[in-house]
Structure 1
Amino acid sequence: MDKRYQVFISSTFVDLVDERREVMQALLEMDCMPAGMELFPASNEDQWTLIKGVIEQSDYYLVILGGRYGSMTEEGISYTEMEYDYAVELGIPVMGFVIADPDAIPVGKTDKNEAAGKKLNEFRAKVQSRMTKDWKDAADLGSKVTRGLVHLIKNNPRPGWVRGDRAMTPETRVKIAELEATIAKLEKNEIETSTGTAAQIDESFAHGKEEVRLALVHRGYRSFDGNVEELGDLTYTWDEIIEVLGPFMIDEAPEPVLRKTFDSHMLSDIQNDPGNWSHDLSHESASITDKSWGSIIVQLRALRLIINGTKKRTVSDKAVYWKLTQAGDDYLVALRAVPSAAQQESND
């Protein structure tokens, strides 16, 4: 598979224009993608954030040292040295190219500041502690970069960049096709299970008129004593629970919506028959406890009345969806459907 490598070129700029041009030409002839400050687009991002992003995407890093340390940040370190340290920190293979005879550099291309010169010497020593090559002029630097990068690529393999239409090997395509076929088969089996084997409820579990006590938290606000919160419970038959939740699961419904629906039903029951519950509250609400809600879901699944939804959704949709099985749909119809007048008279 043909790969192209992105190579970050780091150096001072004004004094090494010809040298950078020569290095870029060498990289392009090697089918590599050069990246450096002169190629950065205008951006609203601060300079260092942009530089870091380009380094992170690069496969190899080259630093060229001449006679200048370069512009410095407020911390007194040059961008070139910051780039070098960041590439080393990321574990990107680096190679340094150091001017062979610093004393031969024209005065106009050297640091006039003694402190900057000292920092350059320290930075040069840091770079030379790793793989480096000396260079004499721009042409010599270009040839040294070509040979040095070949050696760097051979000994430090990197991911590189591949054309989109060549990114997958034939073996990968076959594997993906096999996985897609497996997924389709599993989805088909799940649908068949939900509509076939779940044609009857499992009556070995509590259902119908059998009762269950569900815990909830009742909240509200009363002007003379502030927020009110009380824990209690209400008793329902399983048929009542199915009558409340079932219509919302004829298609598929997210669990938070189902839970909110049942909370509203419990609040309505409290308001219609306050009993021992606090009343005359504003901003009133009722919330079934996690444990009681879990009991409802588990029981309806055990009865084979509901299963997980199977529709495809966006990756961002993290909700659990529930829908009625065929048995659940039949059971709901028997509970909620209104018989004809003739049938009612016959039953009477």
Structure 2
Amino acid sequence: MDRRYQVFISSTFTDLIDERREVMQALLEMDCLPAGMELFPAGDTDQWTLIKGVIEQSDYYLVVLGGRYGSVTEEGVSYTEKEYDHAVELGIPVMGFVPAEPDGIPVGKTDRSDAAAKKLAEFREKVQLRMTKDWKNAEDLGSKVTRGLIHLIKNNPRPGWVRGDQAMTPETRAEIAELNAKIAQFEKKEAESSAVTSAQMDDSFAHGQEKVELSAKHKGIYEYERREEDGDLTYTWDEIIEVLGPFMIDEAPEPALRNTFNKHMLSDIQSATEGDWATGWDRESAEISDRSWGAIIVQLRALRLITTGTKKRTVSDKAVYWKLTQAGDEYLVSLRAVPTAAKTLEQPV
């Protein structure tokens, strides 16, 4: 499998521009993915967070030392040394490249401060405790990076990066195919079990001519004023199914079903001559309470007469859809279907 390795390049910048260019070129010729400070926007206040993330995603880490210690953090440690310490802490294979003749570095590319020069010397000693190579000039550094990285890769295998179309091994494909087969088998059994269940009404719950009391709010104009009144209406479960069932033969959104039942309740309120409801209203509407509507949905689900819809909807459609189960469809037919007149007539003796 063709792998490419991400290699982080750490160094001071302005004094090692040519050297970094040679290192980048060497890595590209090895089909590696170079990463370094060139990737980060200048002036980013959270630059260290970005740098840490890239180091953590890298397979190998190269540090190139020159004649400068570099800009320091609030802790007084240079960013180059901080990057190096972080890579070592993560266990990323590191390799250092130090000048073969540090005294020959031009004055303009060295630290003027004795304190900075001392810190650079201490950092160089730290780096040389691990694998390092000396370099004389930019071209020499490029060749040393090539040979050194080959050795590092050979002795320290890393995951690397693989093209998406090559990442799937035959073993992985076989494993995924096996898992898909098991999922399909499970879904088939679940569907079969669901089909059997949906074909049978659970009559252990209230149904048929058993009654339920539902609360509603009645709104409108009464005696020239806009008013509201609360009250209760009593229905049998068969009546509820007769009202809602025809709209759930195909999947129906819950708001539409609720509106249908609101209209049915308003009709009953308008025809009432006694009880909780006043007559003589204008511009009326009725609205079932959330609690009562929830009771209807829960009860019809418990009876196994309805289930949630499964058709695909648009992303903007947030409504819940309900439909009759096989048991619900059969129950509705038994309630609403009109028998032939011949069977209703009494047979002659």
* C-alpha displacement of 1:172: 1.8
**Counterparts of residues 320-335 of structure 1 (less than 5 Å):** 322-335=322-335
Deviations 1:20-75 (A, max 9, x none): 2332333234332212344x398998782654554444222222222223345788
1:142 Cα deviation after fit: 3.7
* Matches of 2:96 and 2:262, distance apart in 1: 76
Note closer, same or farther for the CA distance 1:265–1:76 as it changes in structure 2 (3 Å cut).
farther
Counterpart of 2:159 in 1: which secondary structure? coil
Match of 1:288 among 287, 290, 295: 290
SS in 2 for 1:103: helix
Mapping of 1:176-255 within 5 angstroms?
176-195=176-195, 198-212=198-212, 237-243=236-242, 246=245, 249-252=248-251
Note the residue ranges of structure 2 that are not aligned, 5 or more in a row.
220-229, 270-274, 278-285
Q: How does 1:1-348 map to 2 (within 5 A)?
A: 1-38=1-38, 40=39, 48=47, 51-52=51-52, 54-71=54-71, 78-81=78-81, 83-84=83-84, 87=87, 91=90, 93-100=92-99, 101-112=101-112, 114=113, 117=116, 120-121=119-120, 124=123, 128=127, 131-137=130-136, 138-150=138-150, 152-153=152-153, 156-195=156-195, 198-212=198-212, 237-243=236-242, 246=245, 249-252=248-251, 258=254, 262=258, 265=261, 275=276, 288-289=290-291, 293=294, 299-311=299-311, 322-335=322-335, 339=338
* Equivalences, count: 328
Sort the Cα spacing of 1:23 and 1:104 in 2 relative to 1 into closer, same or farther, 3 A.
same
Following superposition, the deviation at residue 167 of structure 1 comes to 1.1
Letter in 1 for 2:92: P
Distance in 1 between residues matched to 2:317 and 2:118, nearest whole Å: 54
**Counterpart AA for 2:332:** L
- Identical columns (%): 63
Rate the CA distance shift 1:135–1:126 in 2: closer, same or farther, 3 A.
closer
Q: SS of 1:99's equivalent?
A: strand
**SS of residue paired to 2:4:** coil
CA RMSD of aligned residues (A): 5.4
How far does residue 168 in structure 1 lie from its aligned partner after superposition? 0.8
CA distance in 2, matches of 1:232, 1:153: 80
Q: Aligned equivalents of 2:135 and 2:318: distance in 1?
A: 61
Where do 5+ consecutive residues of structure 1 fail to align? 221-230, 277-283
Q: Distance in 2 between matches of 1:213 and 1:158?
A: 70
Structure 1's 314 and 35: CA in aligned 2 closer, same or farther, altered over 3 A? farther
For 2:328 and 2:165, how far apart are their aligned partners in 1?
48
Alpha-carbon distance between aligned partners in 2 of 1:173 and 1:15, rounded to the nearest angstrom? 50
Shift of 1:80: 3.4
Residue 267 of structure 1 contacts residue 286 of structure 1 at CA under 8 Å; is this kept in 2? no
Q: Distance in 1 between matches of 2:118 and 2:80?
A: 12
Change (3 A) 1:73 1:41: closer
Change (3 A) 1:321 1:152: farther
- CA shift, 1:309, in A, is 4.5
What letter is aligned with 2:254? L
Per-residue CA deviations over 1:169-204 (Å, capped at 9, x if unaligned) read 112222323333344444444555555663342333
